Amino acid sequence: MERPAPVAVFGGTFDPIHFGHLRVAWEVSEQLDCEVRLMPSAQPPHRSAPGGSAADRAAMIEMALAGQGRLRLDRRELERTGPSYSVDTLLELREELGPDRPLIFVLGADAFRALPAWHRWQELTGLAHLVAMTRPRQRLDKLEPDLHNAMAGRWTGLVERLRGEPAGRVMVIRVTPLAISSSLIRASLAEGRLPRYLLPQPVLDHIQARGLYR
């Protein structure tokens, strides 16, 4: 019997969402041939509070996703109180999806490298596959020893491996390099410049109408 299609989740602060996030999520969705859920965190454990409220960040994601069917917004971390630990989110998703459905946790190269700082990070591969997307100026080799050891024997280059097992594999997906970041966009707004063409125009309109990141 064929396994049901994987579910991929892509977490982040999305403060604000930009074409870097959107393009790589789209490419991952095409390469894995599955839905990708963009999942904004309420209270990211490793960084200062977002400049945009949960409601604004979710609204901007919804605007950015209009008109397509591969990417969608998942609000579960916004609806939970306390810090948004990925391990809790994956436990919740695993509970919903059952033990057999492939679950894929998608991260940019910088987030992947930083995994050993995350709460109960060693449990993540028991719950999901990890997909690390390439990102300009972020390497995916020379990982710190704990991460290197935890990933040993899990690497695969085959999408079929991810589709054929519920969790436990690690894969690198090469995506179009776009050196766009939310911090670059926030800095540009704070300096009174306009970050046009780095993010969808309706998102920029929303930022301006609400006076965000000034």
Q: Does 110 engage in binding with ligand ATP (CB under 6 A)?
A: yes
Query: Helices 54-65 and 201-210: crossing angle, nearest 10°?
Result: 150
Q: Does 166 bind ligand ATP (CB under 6 A)?
A: no
* Among the listed residues 13, 29, 84, 86, the single contact to ligand ATP using CB under 6 A: 13
- Does 37 bind ligand ATP (CB under 6 A)? Our answer is no
Q: How many residues bind ligand ATP (CB under 6 A)?
A: 18
Q: Is 86 in the site for ligand ATP (CB under 6 A)?
A: no
CA distances to 5, 17, 73, 123 from 90, rounded to whole Å, are 17, 22, 16, 10
121: DSSP letter: G
β-partners of residue 39 are: 11
Nearer to ligand ATP, 14 or 85 (CB): 14
> Is residue 64 within the footprint of ligand ATP (CB under 6 A)?
no
Which of 6, 9, 14, 61 touches ligand ATP (CB under 6 A)? Answer: 14
Distance CA 124, CA 136 (A): 25
Residue 178 found at the interface with ligand ATP (CB under 6 A): yes
212 part of the interface to ligand ATP, by CB under 6 A:
no
Contact 20, 51 (CB under 8 A): no
Structure tokens at 168: 């436990």
